[in-house]
Amino acid sequence: MSDPLASAKTFLFVPGHRPDRFAKAAAGGAGVVILDLEDAVGPDRKETAREHVRAWLEEGHRAVVRLNAAGTPWYQEDVASVGRALAVMLPKAEDPAEIDALAGRLPGMPILPLVETAAGIVGAVAICGADAVVRPAFGSVDLAAQLGVDDRSHEALRYARSALVVAAAAAGKAAPIDGVTTALDDEAALIADLDHAKTLGFTGKLCVHPRQVAVANRGLAPSESEIAWAREVVAPSGDGSVAVVDGRMVDRPVELRARAILDSAGEPYRPA
């Protein structure tokens, strides 16, 4: 995937009212920086944050902007100020019509819906199917709060995560971006979250601190054993026979997965 929004492994949030952190975040190794106008910014700082974000974008910098949710007092002005963003993230995404309306106001602007409510999970296929959507993101903390479960529990949110992965695939969109790990000083917890998300089919991670970026980039990259397996799968047998790798017959779906692994590792498959 050549689109950085579709292929990036890490998305780093930066509070919109902290312009002193924008350049550092952009240089910190994340695939994409998200300038946040929503959760990280209190009501008394919304206007200031919006102006800082607008100014930074007008200087030619590239970033995603997380808007305040549709229906909030700040949404309309947020939308009017982000015309130069790389993309916008729409929180509390539930209604495809709202996504289409946003796309109509920002023609050509890619949209990353943040699915973080029960209604959003139930309607995820329609949300992901909206034309302007590139890739969904999972809002684990907000959804857990609504459901009354622990956002750190893999089991409690397994269904919701899998539903979003399936929805993105059904709509032909890039695999989702997993929610944040709130334990900033617990690398083991971050690694466990990454392993779980990767197992379910997520290929990106929302990060809330720069120190999480390098760990997430490594955790979501194919392992050496995965790369070695993929190379063996796509290697031509030379005799026209059906290939068998690790005792498993290699059919078309297996080959496609192997090619996807090599592409993610920066080794696009090229037929001999």
Binding-site entries for Mg(2+): 116, 142
User: At CA 224, angle to CA 222 and CA 226, rounded to 5?
Assistant: 55
Q: Which residues are annotated as a binding site for substrate?
A: 66, 116
Q: Which residues are annotated as a binding site?
A: 66, 116, 142
- Secondary structure, 3-state, the chain: CCCHHHHCCEEEEEECCCHHHHHHHHCCCCCEEEEECCCCCCHHHHHHHHHHHHHHHHCCCCCEEECCCCCCCCHHHHHHHCCCCCEEEECCCCCHHHHHHHHHHCCCCCEEEEECCHHHHHCHHHHHHCCCECCCEECHHHHHHHHCCCCCCCCCCHHHHHHHHHHHHHCCCCCCEECCCCCCCCHHHHHHHHHHHHHHCCCEEEECCCHHHHHHHHHHCCCHHHHHHHHHHHCCCCCCCCCEECCEECCHHHHHHHHHHHHHCCCCCCCC
| Cα–Cα distance measured from residue 82 to residue 88, given in angstroms and rounded to the nearest whole number | 8
For residue 31, the one-letter residue type is: G
Q: How many residues does the chain have?
A: 272
